[in-house]
Chains A and B, each alone.
Chain A
Amino acid sequence: MKQSLLQKILLAVIYGLIILIIIFSIGAGKNRSQEGYDKCIKEKCDEKGEKFCSKQREINNCCQGAGGELAIADGQLTCVFKK
C-alpha cells in the first residue's frame, strides 16, 4: 500500500524523536557527577534564591540526580560521590 506524504512525515517524526531522545539521554549522563550536582544547585539558586536551593529536599534531589549520596560535612548537608 502506497503511503501518503503525511504518513512519511509521521514516520520521520517517530524515528527522529526516538533518535533525539537517545541523544538527549546520552547527554543527560553528564549530570551524573559532582559537576552535575554543582550545576543543579547553581540553577536552583539562580532561579529561586539561596533559601530555596539550601533546602534539604532540593539538595537531596540534586544529589540523587547526580548519582551521589547525602552526607553532612562541617555541619552542613552536602553530596558525596563514591570513587
Chain B
Amino acid sequence: MVSVITILLFFVYTWGLGYSATYFAAKSKDCLENFFMNIGIGLGVFAILSIILNTLQVILDWKIFLILSLILPAFSIYKRNKTKNWRFDFPKLTKANITTLIVLIIFIISLSIYLKGAFTYPYLENEDPWGHSEGIKYVALEKTAFDPEVTRYDKTVDAVLPYIDPYPPAYNILLGVLHQTSPNLTWTMKFFNALIISLGFVFFYFFVNRFCGDRKKALLATFILAAIPSYLSHFIWAHSLVVTLIFPTFYALEMIKEDRRWAYVAMLLIAAVWVSQNLSKPIQITILILIYLVVISITHKKIFKRGFAALFGGLVLSIFWWGAVLTKYGFGNFVAAWQPRIVEGGEIISAASGGLFSKLVPIIKSVTDAGGSASRAYGFNDFFIAKSQNLINNPIGIGVFITLLALVGLVATLIKYRSKIVNPENTWLAVTILWLVFTFWGVNGVTFPVSIARGAFRVWMLMAIPLSIITVEGIYFLKVFSKKNKVIFIAILVVIIVGIFFTSAKQKYDLNTAIWPTSSAFSNPQEAYEMAVWFNTIPDNTKVFLYAPRPKFTIGLGKYSCNWCQDEIDFRAEIITKSGEELYNFLKNREYEYLLVAPNLDYKLFSSEFSDDIVKEQLPLRYQEILNSGLFKPVYQKEQVLVVFEVK
C-alpha cells in the first residue's frame, strides 16, 4: 500500500520546482532553510504550473512534472561537473541547525499524529474527501482537470466531479499526479494530505524566523501553531494545501527585502493560492497579504512596489484558471456554481434594479457571508477551553494557556511599544496584530454587526497563525519575572510548554486520533466499515460497480468505477428499471468484475432519487433477478449489510 517511490517523487517534484523557481534569486546561507523552503515553494509552483499546463491542454502526467522539476537541477549538476565544483557544505551543529532540528521533530510528531488518526478508520471521513477522490481519480486517469462534457439530471455545470472545474483544481491535480505512481488512492489521499499539513509547520518556522528575525521566537511560535486545535486537522480537503501555501508565500515576500527577484517567486505562490481553493480562502489570504504590504509600506515610508507587483502579478497569473472557466461558463453560471442563491437564470439577482453597484452588492455579501455548515456565535469558553470532541474539518478552540498568553502578549506589546509599534523594526508586530484583528473578526462574523469573511468557522484555522506569533510575545513578556535569570526563565518556559501540552496539544491529539464519522449517505457506520474491509481484500483499482447511486464510495475506497462516463450516468439514471440481465450486460460490457449490493444503502439512496413507492416495488424485484439470473456469483456476504457478486 505504501508507495515509497511516490513519497520520493513528491519531494523531487517539489524540491526541484522550488529550486528552479528560486534559481536566479539570492538564497539564505542556511542550507537547511534553502532545502525545506525549496519544497514549500515547489509545492506552490507545482500548483500554478499544473494549472498552466492544463489550460494549455498539456497532459497532466507525472513524467512531465518529473522532467520539468529536474531540468534546472540537472543543469546545475552539469555546470558543477564542468567546473569540477563539487564542494558541498554539510549542515554543521550550529544553534540555528539545532533549532531547525527541533522543528523537524515537531514536524515528525505532527505527521505521526495526523497519520495515526487518518488510518484509524479504513474509509474517508465526512463528505468532502469522497468528492475529492473522484476528481483525483479523474485527473490521474484522464490527465486533465477540465470537467468531462457530460450531463446529469439536465445539469451540465458540475454534473459530476464537484472539486474540479470550475472549482480550482490544484489540490486534486497534485494528488492525482501522485496517484499515477501510487496505486492505492485512499492511502495516497490520507498520507499526502497529512504530509502537506505537517510540512507547513517547517515552512511556518522559516517564515516567522524571517518575519520577526528571531529563531527562538520562531521555534516557540511553531510549537504553538502545532498545538492549537483550531489549526488544520487531518481532514482531507483543498484547505490543507491553500493554508499551507501561506507560509512559503510570505517567506518569498519577506525575501524580496534580500533580493528583489524574489518578487517573481512570490508572484507564482500568490497565483498558486488562487488556484488551490474555491475563492473564500484565496480572498482571505489576499487580505492578509494586503495588510502586510500596506503596513510595510507605511512603516518604511516607502511603497513596497515589488510586493504589490507580486500580488498583482499573481492575480493576473491565476487567470490561467479563472479566465478559462469564465470563458467556458460565462459570469452568471460561474457565480451560480459558487453561490447559487444569488443567481437566477444566469443573471445576478441584484438588490435593486439597474447599475453595476446593485449587482455587486449580493456578490460582496456572499464573499463576506459568515454562514456555513458549522458557523455560529462563539463565547469566551469556545476560545478558552479546547475540547477533544470537536468539528473534524475545522476544529474550534485555542486552550487555556495559549489564550491567556495571547492576551498577555497583545496587551504587553501595546504597552511596551505604544506608538513605536508602527516603527519599521516593529512592522511584524503591527502586521501580526492586524492579522489577529481581521481573523478574530472573521471568526465572530455571526455575532459582530458586520461580517468580513466568508464561512466564519473556517477562519479559525487562519486565526491560529497570528495567535501563535502573538502568544510568543506573551511568553517573552514573562521574562520580566525571571529577573534576567536564565534558569528561572527556562523553568517558566517548561511550565508553559507543559501547560500548553495539557490544555491544547492533548485535545488536538485526541481529536486527530479519534475515529471520525464518514458520509451521512451511508445508512449506518457499520456499513461504511464493512464495505471498506471487503474493498481491502481485493487489488487496487479493481472495477467494482456499487449498485447504490454513490459510485464515489468505490473510488474513495481505492477501487474503480467510471463516475464521469456518460453511458454509466445514463444507465444509473434508470437503474431501478433495469432487469438483472440488462445490468449484467452493461457491467460485462464495461468490464466490471464485481457488483456490490448493500440493501439498506440502496433503499436509502434510491428513495432520494426515485419515489418511495417505486423503490419499494422495484428493488426487491431487481434483487431477485440478480440472484436468480445465474449471471452473478455471490463471493462475499456480511449479513444485513452487503453482498458482493462476481460478474460471471
Q: Which residues of A contact B (CB under 8 A)?
A: 1, 3-4, 6-11, 13-15, 17-18, 21, 24-25, 27-29, 31-32, 36, 40, 57, 61-62, 64-67
Q: A30: nearest residue on chain B (CB-CB)?
A: B447
Q: How far, in angstroms, from A61 to B423 measured CA to CA in the complex?
A: 43
B419 touches A21 (CB 8 A): no
Q: A24: nearest residue on chain B (CB-CB)?
A: B448
Task: Report which of A3, A14, A28, A67 forms a contact with B447, defined as CB distance below 8 A.
Answer: A28
Residues of chain B within 8 A (CB-CB) of A8 are 422
Q: How far, in angstroms, from A61 to B433 measured CA to CA in the complex?
A: 29
Q: How far, in angstroms, from A61 to B371 measured CA to CA in the complex?
A: 11
Task: Report which of B377, B423, B448 forms a contact with A65, defined as CB distance below 8 A.
Answer: B377
Q: How far, in angstroms, from A24 to B532 measured CA to CA in the complex?
A: 48
Residues of chain A within 8 A (CB-CB) of B375 are 61
A17 touches B437 (CB 8 A): yes
Residues of chain B within 8 A (CB-CB) of A15 are 414
Residues of chain A within 8 A (CB-CB) of B379 are 28-29, 31-32, 65, 67
Q: How far, in angstroms, from A82 to B592 measured CA to CA in the complex?
A: 57
A21 touches B376 (CB 8 A): no
Residues of chain A within 8 A (CB-CB) of B410 are 18
B430 touches A14 (CB 8 A): yes
Looking at B268-276, B295-303, B307-315, the stretch in contact with chain A turns out to be B295-303
Residues of chain B within 8 A (CB-CB) of A32 are 377, 379
- Asked if B374 is at the interface (CB within 8 A of a chain A CB), the reply is yes
Q: How far, in angstroms, from A36 to B377 measured CA to CA in the complex?
A: 9
Q: How far, in angstroms, from A11 to B421 measured CA to CA in the complex?
A: 8
A-B contact pairs, 18 of them (CB 8 A): A7-B301, A7-B423, A10-B298, A14-B434, A18-B433, A18-B437, A21-B440, A25-B444, A27-B447, A27-B449, A28-B377, A28-B447, A36-B377, A40-B376, A57-B373, A61-B375, A65-B376, A65-B379
Q: B424: nearest residue on chain A (CB-CB)?
A: A1
A61 touches B374 (CB 8 A): yes
Residues of chain B within 8 A (CB-CB) of A13 are 434
Residues of chain A within 8 A (CB-CB) of B423 are 1, 3, 7
| Contact A61 B422, CB 8 Å, known A6-B298, A7-B299, A17-B437 | no
Residues of chain B within 8 A (CB-CB) of A66 are 377
- Asked if B21 is at the interface (CB within 8 A of a chain A CB), the reply is no
Q: How far, in angstroms, from A13 to B431 measured CA to CA in the complex?
A: 12
B422 touches A14 (CB 8 A): yes
Within 8 A of A (CB), among B373-387: 373-379
Q: How far, in angstroms, from A11 to B420 measured CA to CA in the complex?
A: 9
- Asked if B446 is at the interface (CB within 8 A of a chain A CB), the reply is yes
Q: A16: nearest residue on chain B (CB-CB)?
A: B437
Task: Report which of B419, B437, B440, B449 forms a contact with A3, defined as CB distance below 8 A.
Answer: B419
B376 touches A62 (CB 8 A): yes
- Asked if B441 is at the interface (CB within 8 A of a chain A CB), the reply is yes
B422 touches A31 (CB 8 A): no
Q: How far, in angstroms, from A32 to B376 measured CA to CA in the complex?
A: 12
Q: How far, in angstroms, from A66 to B446 measured CA to CA in the complex?
A: 12
Q: How far, in angstroms, from A82 to B434 measured CA to CA in the complex?
A: 37
Residues of chain B within 8 A (CB-CB) of A18 are 410, 414, 433, 437
B437 touches A21 (CB 8 A): yes
Q: A18: nearest residue on chain B (CB-CB)?
A: B437
- Quote the shortest CB–CB distance from B385 to chain A (angstroms): 13
Within 8 A of A (CB), among B406-424: 410, 414, 419, 421-423
Within 8 A of A (CB), among B338-397: 373-379
A64 touches B422 (CB 8 A): no
- Quote the shortest CB–CB distance from B424 to chain A (angstroms): 9
Extra contacts, 20 of them, besides A3-B423, A11-B419, A13-B434 (Cβ < 8 A), are A3-B419, A3-B422, A4-B298, A6-B298, A6-B301, A7-B298, A7-B299, A10-B430, A14-B422, A17-B437, A18-B410, A18-B437, A24-B441, A24-B449, A25-B444, A28-B378, A28-B444, A31-B379, A62-B376, A65-B378
